[in-house]
Amino acid sequence: MHHFAIATVAEESTDFRRVLWTGEKVQVVTMTIPPGGEIGEEVHEDTDQILTFVSGTGEARVGGEVRPVKAGDLVAVPAGTPHNFVNTGAAPLVLHTAYGPPEHADGTVHKTKEEADLAESGEGSR
């Protein structure tokens, strides 16, 4: 069994992206988006995503809709849907997300968005 005090883990991590656990069909990741930062628009063609917000305030841009998000909110993003999440507050926007099936290599840690972008372009390492 893998057990996480997920709110504590998310709050204590300053990494842009940290894979916490990867199973055969789902993956759990925690993310911290700095003030003024964003995940960046993306589409996961074959992966559903559920994001739960732990702290901070932001904006969910999913499938052409825009809505505010805050701690306690959950957003579901169906596979094939363009999406982006933007930090609109003065504090980090902290969230955890589940991907089904897994989206990132097990154990992936990206300290910054720039590091994540570099790794996803194939030019960086995990």
Q: Tell whether 64 is covered by a domain.
A: yes
Q: Tell whether 1 is covered by a domain.
A: no
- The DSSP symbol for 114 reads H
Q: Tell whether 105 is covered by a domain.
A: yes
Q: Tell whether 125 is covered by a domain.
A: no
Position 73, amino acid: D
The per-residue pLDDT for 126 is 37
Number of domains in the chain: 1
Average pLDDT of the residues of the chain: 91
pTM of the model: 0.85
Q: Which residues contact 9 (CB under 8 A, 6 or more apart)?
A: 20, 30, 96
Q: Is 112 exposed, middle or buried (0-12, 13-18, 19+ CB in 10 A)?
A: middle
The per-residue pLDDT for 123 is 57
List pLDDT tens digits, range 18-69.
999 999 999 999 999 999 999 999 999 999 999 999 999 999 999 999 999 9
CATH of the domain at 77: 2.60.120.10
Question: By residue range, what is the domain housing residue 52?
Answer: 6-120
99: nearest Cα among 48, 39, 51: 48
